[in-house]
A and B are shown apart, each in its own frame.
Chain A
Amino acid sequence: MISENDLVKGCQRGKAKSQRLLYELYAPKMLGVCMRYFHTKDEAQDALHDGFVKIYSKIKDFRGEGSFEGWIRRIMVNTSLNLYRHNLKRMYHADVDDERVQIADSSMSFDQFNVQDIMKLIQGLPDGYRIIFNMYEIDGYAHKEIAEALQISVNTSKSQLLKARKHLRQGLEELNKERNKI
């Protein structure tokens, strides 16, 4: 059985077989990552493409420090961010909504939502909210890292995250209401 280590070594030596295997192993999961950063699958596939091209050219530099999947994931996230970078400036002007505390609908169960529902909600978020929510909540970046990557302040990152969470919760509540109607 081939280990991750051998797979990486194969790719580092430029073996076509290993390169393909790497893609087969990780592409679906990584497209799952990219999807979260974009509105559509097409955009996400562009990022996946760029990401894998980068992986094959950079894999020589992978020293086995840290998990390999983590390394791939980071490349995917960075690639996705790069595709956005040209319009980073305008993405934080999403509506500033009120700060009132809203009481969450406690009757709602999260289990009723499937991955597609959730993915759609995330994809529907405004760019800034979506990217920060993804980086922080799902891909495990710290606010400081996000701030550096997006060239924003730590506080902006934090407040955008709060708003994104609220947005998503409201999205879930609406979805829940719609379903209960039917």
Chain B
Amino acid sequence: MNINDENIGKLFQQKLKDAEVQPDAAVWSAIKQQSGISSGLSVLAKAALFLLGTAIVASSYFLWKGSDSDNQISTEMNAVNNQSLVAIESTSNEQEVVEKNQLDSSVEITVYDNQRDIKKINNTSTQNVIIADVDDSDHLNQETNEAPKTISNTNSVIVNTQKPIPTEVVFQPQLVSFDDEDVESIETNREDVESTEVLTVNSDTAKIRFSDNPTICFGEDAILEAIGGEVYEWSNGSNTSKIRVSPVEESTYWVIVYDRYGNEKKHSFNVIVDKECTSIFIPSAFTPNGDGINDNFKAEGLGILSFEMVVFSREGSIMFESNNIEMSWDGTYRGELVKSVAYMYQVVYTDAKGNTHSKKGFVTLIR
């Protein structure tokens, strides 16, 4: 399977969720001591004792008949060897039901669920899914001893509804697999699962729309928008439906949109910067501290035929004046650095078509 930023979490989860690392023996001694657990024979030793016990039982059964503790050891050893406990057993029942229905071939997948979840699926179901109300009381019985949370999770894992269906993907029931990893993920309580890519039943991702790729003039902002999702993750870290970007050269931004089922859809925006058109960018602040970054106040423009800029203090004195767009103000007035406040500027320029524009604004000197 190929790896990208979207599936990497899932891949890591599959490998690591049940990774086991043998702790050092000292850890148990420390725990035992701190929790006040009385020491006894190790389980292994008890197992050996039990085997010995059984051997003796064979020869002299009556002598050992009353030994309750040995029987108990045997059951506990079974538990060690067979770690698949209640939850897994019940899930395998469900697995059988699904497989049987696949054989019928008239049903692509059977979704059984508690009443509430069936409704949910019905509302948004796609034509690929036939929902059968299977009497699931048997295999849910064991689960109902657990928290209700577990039940709903079980159901959602079995159908794996939580993955987006890209509309063009054909539903392939033969790829349905219920392996151990699926069973294990029952126990996760996540609201926004990224589940396997194969099984997809139900999704709102078709409703997710994206704005077109914008072309902007140099220095302008572009607005990128995705609608129809619940959660947005933009490449710039934003989480809003809409972002405003101002690239200075052609750039790509992407967004991952999650619908309310946790299905995701990724989209890339390519923002083209047209450097031919006339535009002007005037920063709103500068920092004349000599660190080489934004030390000077300077307008950036393209396709400008003529240019004039004047910077005033609040009192109205002219701090800086220039008729060349390449000239910049270093934040000094008569050789001395001026106060760290906002200054007003006025820029008059002529664009490539010969039209004259005027722009006024404030620039803040930050130290």
Chain A positions near chain B (C-beta within 8 angstroms) = 1-4, 7, 16-17, 19-21, 23-25, 27-29, 31-32, 35-36, 41, 44-45, 48-49, 52-53, 56-57, 64-67, 69-70, 73, 99-101, 104-111, 113, 115, 118-119, 122, 133, 136-143, 154-155, 158-159, 161-162, 165-166, 168-169, 172
Contact = CB atoms under 8 A, between A and B. Distances in A.
Contacts, number: 192
The 5 closest A-B pairs by CB, nearest first: A140-B188, A137-B9, A159-B237, A28-B20, A140-B190
A101 B236 CA distance: 10
Contact of B16 (A16, A138, A141): A138
Given A17-B40, A115-B15, A159-B237, 9 more contacts: A2-B72, A4-B86, A19-B37, A36-B19, A49-B27, A57-B35, A100-B251, A118-B15, A159-B233
Interface of B: 1-6, 8-13, 15-24, 27-28, 30-32, 34-35, 37-40, 42-43, 72, 75-76, 78-80, 82-83, 85-87, 145-147, 149-150, 186-193, 233, 235-239, 251-254, 268
Contact of A27 (B16, B28, B30, B76): B28
A106 B79 CA distance: 43
**Chief secondary structure at chain A's binding surface:** helix
A45 B24 contact: yes
A53 B35 contact: yes
A25 to B, nearest CB: 6
A19 B34 CA distance: 13
Contact of A1 (B12, B82, B186, B193): B82
A104 B5 contact: yes
Contact of A70 (B20, B34, B187): B187
A73 B72 CA distance: 27
